[in-house]
Structure 1
Amino acid sequence: MGRYTDAPAFASQNFGFLASAQGIRDCLVLLCILLAGMTVLSLLISWIQSLWRGVRRTS
């Protein structure tokens, strides 16, 4: 009898772990996307700055 009453708690514990693992994975994916975006943005800014220096030098 006790085994059957413990089954839902066991299942909810497992699903809770799965949900947290999913959340952690989503956070990691979001972090990677954010990091890639910041890298691209910094590259773009440095490229624009070098272009701007080139334009100012020629004029």
Structure 2
Amino acid sequence: MGIFDKFRHHDKAKDMSDTAEQKVNEKTGGKYESQVDDAQQRAEGALGMDRERPDRPEQQ
């Protein structure tokens, strides 16, 4: 597996994570949006998929 394959799989995993977050928010009517976002960030962090999220404010 080449380095570009790793990037492609990493991007696909992020897309899947975002899609899952959107689906959960749709099903719950956005009621738990901040909790879902936090869970997504923690899951991605545990999988080594940390990323900057400029569309979301920093949580303190």
TM-score (norm 2): 0.46
Q: Pick 1 or 2: higher relative contact order, CA cutoff 8 A, min separation 6.
A: 2
| Largest Rg, 1 or 2 | 1
TM-score, normalising length from structure 1?
0.47
* Structure with greater helix percent: 1
